Amino acid sequence: MKKSIKDIDLKNKKVLIRVDYNVPINENAEVEDDTRIRESLATIQYLIEQNCALIIMSHLGRPKGKPDAKYSLKPVAKKLQELINKSVKIAEGIVDEKTKQLAKNLKNGEILMLENIRFDPREEKNDIEFANELKSLVGDDAVFVQDAFGSVHRAHTSTYAIAKLLPAVCGFLLEKEIKYFEKILNSPERPFIAILGGAKVSDKIGVIENLINKVDGIIIGGAMAYTFLLSKEIKVGNSLVEKDKLDLAKGLLRKAEEKKVNILLPIDHIVATQASDNVEYKYIDSIDIPDGYMGLDIGKNTVSRIANIILSAKTIVWNGPMGVFELNNFQEGTRQVALLVANATQKGATSVVGGGDSVSAVKKFKVADKISHISTGGGASLELLEGKTLPGIEVLLDK
């Protein structure tokens, strides 16, 4: 386990914290969705209670290593100020003279937000010199707090190099992410099932390869199911298929069989000629999809077949929607799975949902509060499910 802010004395310290405020900004320069800011509040409030002088850093978008007003964190600082009801100073830069002065004058209990860390080209280069300049803002006696789960799969200056220079611990948000992923990956209550879907097999090969060694069953839906079905010579019409992944899909099915891991693929489908609410859709009560049609959602027989498996599971990890859930005509399979995962959780299962679109689905179908853990990092959660160690976590102090 990694040390958290509860395991270290922070009273009256200067703290440099990395958060993930990569939030959508609208054309009026306002924060469009403040979820990520709200998720950081517990950590920030705790640090303020400890009378820390707090310097916040985050990235926003991809500004290509130079200042770009479009990616300024000013709207974010304003939103944070509103949410914590406390003044938040925003620096014009990162390690320029003016910002250094602001940092030097920062008093205990005050908050300063640096500009977008990616305005400096050295951020993505994991640069020791840049890390030293960041450290000089807080001094030798400071602490580094990592709470940006969405960024810890990258070894950047603000996620790695800086953590080598100061005592580095996780904030509450990162701590919770690590706790859930460690639990499901290292000591899951059984049966343990994975529900995988979404757009591409290629995105999730590593996840399947790793989870085959850990789970009791895998439910596969979404577009990637069609590559698996075609690899078994089932007709998939015009469904999205990754032709160059057919052998790999076959290999994964064989491996699962050897390991006695049940892989469940769709047995019926909702299809249409294209992914649109403006064309006619129909239900196909067979595993084969007729020519000219695309599989865009799992059918009702597939749902009833997976229902018992989900409801009797004690650990569930879900990544990837079962169909094109953004469209009314193809949302039902994902909606049913969301309700089933919520039900299983209420009966005592531990459920973890990861992936940007899967998280949107869980919110859309209003079961977010019934899931044990909704991960805040798409890429980072995938890498953990792939069995990788993440540099930004690895570098933190052990308990």
For Mg ion, the closer of residues 95 and 380 by Cβ is 380
For ligand ADP, the closer of residues 39 and 203 by Cβ is 203
* Alpha helices (runs of H) in 150-262, residue ranges in sequence order: 172-186, 201-211, 224-231, 246-258
For Mg ion, the closer of residues 314 and 364 by Cβ is 364
Work out which of 218, 240, 263, 271 binds ligand ADP, going by CB under 6 A: 240
Q: Is 223 in the site for ligand ADP (CB under 6 A)?
A: yes
Nearest distance from residue 302's CB to Mg ion, in Å?
22
Tokens for 132, please give them: 């030293």
Q: Kindly state the helix (H) or strand (E) to which residue 111 belongs, with its residue range.
A: strand 111-113
For Mg ion, the closer of residues 356 and 387 by Cβ is 356
Sheet holding 350-354, edge to edge: 262-264, 217-220, 192-196, 315-319, 350-354, 373-374
Nearest distance from residue 356's CB to Mg ion, in Å?
4
Per CB under 6 A, the segment of 198-206, 284-292, 363-371, 383-391 that binds ligand ADP is 198-206
Measured CA to CA, the distance from residue 181 to residue 12 in angstroms comes to 32
Tokens for 258, please give them: 């050897």
Q: Which residues contact 147 (CB under 8 A, 6 or more apart)?
A: 17, 18, 19, 20, 40, 43, 170, 171, 172, 173, 174
User: Do the beta carbons of residue 382 and residue 355 sit within 8 Å?
Assistant: yes
Helix (H, G, I), strand (E, B) or coil at 249: helix
Work out which of 326, 363, 370, 387 binds ligand ADP, going by CB under 6 A: 326
Q: Is 296 in the site for ligand ADP (CB under 6 A)?
A: yes
Nearest distance from residue 357's CB to Mg ion, in Å?
4
Per CB under 6 A, the segment of 36-44, 121-129, 194-202, 245-253 that binds ligand ADP is 194-202
Measured CA to CA, the distance from residue 342 to residue 344 in angstroms comes to 6
For ligand ADP, the closer of residues 295 and 377 by Cβ is 295
Instruction: Give the footprint of Mg ion on this chain (CB under 5 A).
Output: 356-357
User: Do the beta carbons of residue 266 and residue 221 sit within 8 Å?
Assistant: yes
Q: Which residue is nearest to Mg ion (CB)?
A: 357
Q: Going by DSSP bridges, is the β-strand pair 281-284/269-272 parallel, antiparallel, or unpaired?
A: antiparallel
Work out which of 358, 377, 380, 383 binds ligand ADP, going by CB under 6 A: 358
The answer to whether the peptide bond before residue 191 is cis (omega within 30 degrees of 0) is yes
Q: Is 299 in the site for ligand ADP (CB under 6 A)?
A: no
Catalytic residues: 36, 200, 356, 379
Q: What is the DSSP letter of 120?
A: S
Work out which of 212, 234, 275, 397 binds ligand ADP, going by CB under 6 A: 275
User: Do the beta carbons of residue 351 and residue 318 sit within 8 Å?
Assistant: yes
Q: Is 355 in the site for ligand ADP (CB under 6 A)?
A: yes
List contacts with ligand ADP (CB under 6 A): 197-199, 203, 222-223, 240, 275, 295-296, 319-321, 323-324, 326, 355-358, 378
